[in-house]
Structures are given as C-alpha cells and as structure tokens.
C-alpha cells in the first residue's frame, strides 16, 4: 500500500510539474500569437476547430480509457482497439474532408471550409496516439507523458509563431495544431514499449466499448459545452465576437491546465486502484478536494480581480474588450475545484454513466441559457456557462455522496476555509484599487496588487483554515523534493 501511495505521489509530482511547465509553455505561445493575430483571425479558427471537434466526437477514442481502468488487461484488448481506431480514424478524416464545404456554408466566412479540410488529419493522429497514452497512464509513466506533451507544445508553438510572424494568419493556428499532434504521436509511440500485432477480436472490442460508450457520450455532452458557443456565436455574431470569447476561454483554460491537469492525470488511475477500499477512496477525495480548493479558489479569483490590469499589459489593447469575459469565465473556475474530483472518482470507480448524468444536466442547462441569451453575444454565452456550472453542482455532489458516503453538505464544507480566505483576498485587492496609483494599468500596480493578494490570502487562510495552509505548504515542499529526486534520477 505504501508503494502504491508513493507511486501515486510521484505520479502526481510528475503530473503537477509537467502541467506547470505545459501551462507556462502554452501561455507563452498564446501570448505571442495573441499579439500577432487579431480577434477576427482567432474567431475564424475557432469556427474551424469547432467543426473538427464535431468530427472527433464521432470516434470512440474514450474507449482507450478502459485500458487504464480494466483490472485484467489482455494484449488482445489493446491490439483490437488499436486497429478499430485506425480504421475509424482514417474514415473520420476522409469524411471531414469531404464534408468540409458544409462548414463554409454554415458560418459567414467560406474560408472556414478550407481550414477544416486542412486540419482533418488531426483526427487520425489523435486516434492513433490514444493507445500509447493510455498504456503509459496505466503504468503511471507520467514523466514520459509529460515529455510528449511538452515536446508537442514546443514544436507546435514554434511552427505557429513562425507562420504567424510571416503573415499566414489563420493558417498559422491550423499548422500549430497539426504539428502538436504529429510530435505528440511520435514521442508517445517511441516511449511506449508496446507495438501492435495483426489481430482483431470483436469480443474484446465490445468489452472495451462497454466502458467507452459512456465516456463517448460524456464526450458528446462536453463537446456541446465547449463548442456550442462557437457554433452559435460564429453563426450569429461573426468572427470578431467569437474571437473575443475564444481568447477569454483560452486564457482561463491556461489556468485550469496549471491547476487541474494533475488531478485529471492522476486522479482516475488512483481511484481505479483504490476502488476496493472505501475508506481510502473517501479520504483521498476529502484531502484532495481541500487541497485543490485551497489552490484553485484564490487562483481564479486572482485572475478575475487582476484581469483589467494584466490583459491589456500582456496581450495588448485590442483584447481589452474581452476583460469582462475573462472575469466571468474565471468565476466558473471555482466549480472546477470539486467537479474535477467528482469526475475522477466516478470514472475511477467505474461509474461513467453517473458522470454522464451530471455533465449532461450541466450541458443542457448551459445550452438552454445560451439560446435564451443569444442576443447578448459573447457576454450572454459566458453568463450561461457560469450559471449552468453552479446549477449542476448539487447533482454532482449527490452522485458522489452515493458512491463515497460523503454527504453533499460535508463536501461543501471542505472548501469553506478557502472561500473565506479568498473573500478576504478579494476585499483587500478591491480596496487597494481604490487608491488611484494602483488603479492605473501599469506593471508596477500589477506587481503590488499581486503581492497584496498573495499576502491577504495566506494570512487569512492561516486564520480560517490553518490545517489547509499546512497541507498546501507540505504539498509544495514534497512536490519540490520529488521533482528534485526525479531530476537527479534522470
């Protein structure tokens, strides 16, 4: 048990370290590209990627997660799923290319269809990479996965920035996505010791799909959550309005990558291995949720509070109109502190159908609100996503309670110290901004406000949740030690 715990902790260290590095690298690429490209170009690419995402949801890529969750995995499972994904990946790529002109007719700009056809190859590349990624995840080889992700993002960023600098506009972002998928597949394939055999079994495919069907359905509803705003805004309001929304969501997603990706990478495999120990599952959920809330709450609050200062400073005045969108979507990030653990425990304990219920309710609520607020443009879409995420919270808490025995009100109490400390931090920052010197948009005011926010939160958490502060400091200390040991070992 101690060896398993150490494996999970070391895996968490690798995942956290790689997530931090990946978030920094992704943010750097995003920062440079946002200064080179206009909101209209981002909106055009957002339309194309929405159409590509629609094609990707038709592939049963989520069935590869069963390779992580199954207790007795046979080589026949892996080979059969690989050839299934090969056939469907090639078919899906061809279908998207043939149907790409429809995207140009649906959206106001006919150039979208050409971008969709060019990016269709990413469907096949993504499907092929799913197998080695899942096998490495099953073996807790998070360091190797990290190398693949970082290499892919670095290569994609280099290609995208070079083309954007040369004036290729929207094509630079499409080329970036293709480069990321190519390098990701190449590195994962090299890292994985597995190679396919010429065999295929319908029985083994059906066994994997029995798990993957629910995950594919979850992928469908999450597709609606992520892509429906792009379809609606792109169709009704055009590229410029969609570009501002796309920018805001990408910025908030960068924060989520840094804070939430370690949970996504480690949580589901960890719960899958602990599924026979109810007490261990409950303890892991409680301690993980408290730690995540202590990190996520102040981070997203800081983004919302400081967005009026850092957005024009970092990205340029052209993106000032997206500040309010960033603030709204950052407030949605609070929900992620618990929903990510909810997803990990439901998937890890073999209840993906319950996850489908929770995500489906949130998506339907968001879709209804989005249609209702369609006339409000990007702000209406952001409000719809924010409200729907909190409307679905009670349902997700109830499902977790059924599985772990931890009542919804007990789950809510896990984040109370972090909420209180975050509220004190917000009051300190808002009060400081009333001073005219700190109300200015300058690097000096941003630095001072960040120091005030960090000091106020740390001091308040020491009052409202001293144990939570100790947990955060212990986690960061252990994380640094594990990273140093991993660096020495490599």
Range with the lowest mean pLDDT among 60-64, 133-137, 309-313, 372-376? 60-64
pTM: 0.81
Residue 253 has pLDDT above 60, yes or no: yes
Query: What's the pLDDT at 481?
Result: 62
Residue 210 has pLDDT above 60, yes or no: yes
Other CB atoms within 10 Å distance of the CB of residue 458: 15
Query: What's the pLDDT at 268?
Result: 47
Other CB atoms within 10 Å distance of the CB of residue 75: 12
**8 A C-beta contact, residue 443 and residue 490:** no
Q: How far apart are CA 109 and CA 354, in angstroms?
A: 39
For residue 361, give Cα distances in angstroms to 236, 253, 370, 408: 25, 22, 14, 17
Report the interhelical angle of 2-36 vs 278-315 (nearest 10°): 20
Range with the lowest mean pLDDT among 42-46, 257-261, 262-266, 403-407? 262-266
Confidence grade of residue 5 (pLDDT, cut at 50, 70, 90): very low
Query: What's the pLDDT at 1?
Result: 42
pLDDT over 70 percentage in the chain: 86
Query: What's the pLDDT at 155?
Result: 96
Range with the lowest mean pLDDT among 260-274, 370-384, 460-474? 260-274
Query: What's the pLDDT at 154?
Result: 94
Q: How far apart are CA 129 and CA 112, in angstroms?
A: 26
Query: What's the pLDDT at 467?
Result: 87
Q: How far apart are CA 359 and CA 365, in angstroms?
A: 10
pLDDT, greater one: 97 or 345: 97
Confidence grade of residue 158 (pLDDT, cut at 50, 70, 90): very high
Q: What angle do CA 188, 154, 30 make, to 5 degrees?
A: 125
Query: What's the pLDDT at 277?
Result: 66
Range with the lowest mean pLDDT among 105-109, 254-258, 439-443, 461-465? 254-258
pLDDT, greater one: 282 or 128: 128
Confidence grade of residue 245 (pLDDT, cut at 50, 70, 90): very high
Give which of 298, 305, 304, 296 is closest to 256, Cα–Cα.
296
Query: What's the pLDDT at 342?
Result: 80
What's the mean pLDDT in 259-265? 60
Query: What's the pLDDT at 17?
Result: 62
Strands (E), 394-447: none
Domain residues of the chain, as ranges?
37-226, 237-490
Residue 18 has pLDDT above 60, yes or no: yes
Q: How far apart are CA 456 and CA 315, in angstroms?
A: 27
Residue 185 has pLDDT above 70, yes or no: yes
Q: In this predicted model, what pLDDT tens digit does every residue of 47-65 receive, in sequence order?
A: 999 999 888 887 777 777 7
The two tokens of residue 96 are 């998207």
pLDDT over 90 percentage in the chain: 40
What's the mean pLDDT in 188-200? 85
Confidence grade of residue 357 (pLDDT, cut at 50, 70, 90): confident
How many helices (DSSP H) and strands (DSSP E) are in the chain?
A: 19, 0
Confidence grade of residue 151 (pLDDT, cut at 50, 70, 90): very high
Range with the lowest mean pLDDT among 20-24, 171-175, 224-228? 20-24
pLDDT, greater one: 197 or 20: 197
Average pLDDT, the chain: 83
What's the mean pLDDT in 350-367? 84
The two tokens of residue 316 are 């340029």
């Amino acid at each position: 048990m101690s060896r398993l715990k150490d494996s999970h902790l070391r895996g968490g260290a690798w995942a956290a370290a790689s997530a931090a590095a990946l978030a920094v690298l992704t943010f750097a690429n995003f920062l440079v590209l946002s200064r080179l490209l206009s909101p209209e170009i981002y909106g055009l690419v957002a339309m194309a990627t929405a159409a590509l995402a629609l094609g990707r949801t038709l592939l049963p890529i989520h069935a590869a997660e069963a390779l992580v969750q199954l207790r007795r995995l046979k080589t026949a499972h892996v080979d059969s799923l690989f050839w299934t994904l090969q056939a469907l990946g090639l078919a899906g790529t061809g279908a998207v290319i043939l149907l790409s002109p429809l995207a140009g007719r649906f959206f106001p700009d006919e150039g979208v269809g050409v971008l969709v056809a060019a990016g269709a190859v990413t469907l096949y590349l993504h499907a092929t990479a799913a197998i080695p990624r899942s096998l490495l995840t099953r073996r807790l080889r998070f360091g190797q996965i990290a190398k693949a992700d970082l290499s892919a993002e670095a290569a994609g960023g280099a290609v995208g920035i070079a083309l954007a600098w040369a004036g290729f506009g929207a094509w630079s972002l499409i080329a970036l996505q293709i480069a990321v998928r190519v390098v990701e597949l190449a590195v994962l394939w090299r890292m994985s010791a597995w190679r396919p055999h010429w065999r295929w079994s319908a029985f083994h495919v059906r066994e994997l799909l029995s798990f993957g069907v629910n995950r594919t359905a979850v992928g469908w509803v999450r597709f609606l959550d992520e892509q429906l705003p792009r379809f609606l805004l792109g169709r009704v309001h055009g590229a410029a309005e969609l570009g501002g929304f796309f920018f805001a969501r990408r910025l908030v997603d960068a924060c989520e990558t840094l804070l939430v990706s370690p949970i996504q990478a480690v949580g589901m495999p960890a719960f899958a291995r602990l599924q026979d120990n109810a007490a261990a599952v409950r303890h892991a959920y409680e301690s993980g949720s408290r730690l995540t809330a202590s990190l996520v709450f102040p981070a997203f609050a800081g983004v919302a509070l400081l967005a009026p200062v850092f957005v024009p400073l970092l990205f340029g005045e052209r993106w000032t109109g997206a500040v309010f969108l960033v603030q709204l979507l950052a407030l949605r990030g609070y929900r992620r502190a618990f929903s990510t653990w909810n997803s990990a425990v439901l998937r890890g304990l073999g209840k993906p159908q319950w996850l489908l219920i929770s995500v489906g309710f949130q998506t339907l609520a968001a879709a209804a609100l989005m249609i209702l607020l369609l006339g409000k443009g990007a702000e209406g879409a952001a409000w719809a996503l924010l409200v729907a995420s909190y409307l679905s919270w009670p349902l997700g808490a109830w499902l977790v309670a059924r599985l772990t025995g931890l009542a919804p009100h007990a789950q809510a109490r896990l984040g109370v110290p972090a909420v209180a400390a975050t509220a004190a931090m917000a009051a300190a920052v808002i009060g400081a901004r009333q001073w005219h010197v700190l109300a200015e948009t300058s690097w000096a005011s941003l630095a001072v406000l960040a120091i005030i926010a960090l000091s106020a939160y740390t001091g308040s958490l020491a009052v409202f949740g001293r144990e939570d502060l100790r947990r955060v400091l212990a986690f960061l200390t252990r994380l640094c030690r594990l990273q140093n040991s991993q660096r020495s070992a490599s």
